[in-house]
């Protein structure tokens, strides 16, 4: 039996207080991140990346998850990865907040998580 998984998608930098995945005012003990999908929604002609922090604000030293596409070494739309996916077994615990730092034109990150 699996717990119901929630999905959250972000396309720009976002502090934990904005997305309220973990509310500082709730009795929540945090979340478990099971999977992150990073997509380049443009033509795939650049590298995109995401850093997910266990903190309410971006730029903290609490980065637990980093994911990035890469270059295939050529020029043009086929020179870069369009997707990067990481599944975490065991899931990554986050207790203090979920701030997300998105880099690159066309980046879209989808976070699959369950509440603890």
Q: What is the pLDDT of residues 8-21, one digit of tens each?
A: 999 999 998 888 88
In the chain, pLDDT over 90 holds for what percent of residues?
52
Under 8 Å between Cβ of 21 and 99: no
Q: Give the Cβ contact number of residue 103 at 10 Å.
A: 13
pLDDT of residue 78: 65
Q: Give the whole-angstrom CA distance, residue 12 versus residue 110.
A: 12
Give 12-81 as a DSSP string: S-B-HHHH-SS-TTS----EEEEEEEEEE-S-S-S--EEEEESSSSTT-S-EEEEEE--B-SSSSGGGB-
Query: How many residues would you count in the chain?
Result: 116
Under 8 Å between Cβ of 30 and 97: no
For the whole model, what pTM was predicted?
A: 0.87
Domains of the chain: 6-115 (2.60.120)
Judged by DSSP in three states, 112 sits in strand
Return mean pLDDT, the chain. Answer: 86
C-alpha separations of 59 from 23, 54, 75 in Å: 19, 11, 32
Q: What is the pLDDT of residues 20-32, one digit of tens each?
A: 888 655 566 789 9
Q: What is the pLDDT of residues 81-115, one digit of tens each?
A: 889 999 999 999 999 889 999 999 999 999 999 98
């Amino acid at each position: 039996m699996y717990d119901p998984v929630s999905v959250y998608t972000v396309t720009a930098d976002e502090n934990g207080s904005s997305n309220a995945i973990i509310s500082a005012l709730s009795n929540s003990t945090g979340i478990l991140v099971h999977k992150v999908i990073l997509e380049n929604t443009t033509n795939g002609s650049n590298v995109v990346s995401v850093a997910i922090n266990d903190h309410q604000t971006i730029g903290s030293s609490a980065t637990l998850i980093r994911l990035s596409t890469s270059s295939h070494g050529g020029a043009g739309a086929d020179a870069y990865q369009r997707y990067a996916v990481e599944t975490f077994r065991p899931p990554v615990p986050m207790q203090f907040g979920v701030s997300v730092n998105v880099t690159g034109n066309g980046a879209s990150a989808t976070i699959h998580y369950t509440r603890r």
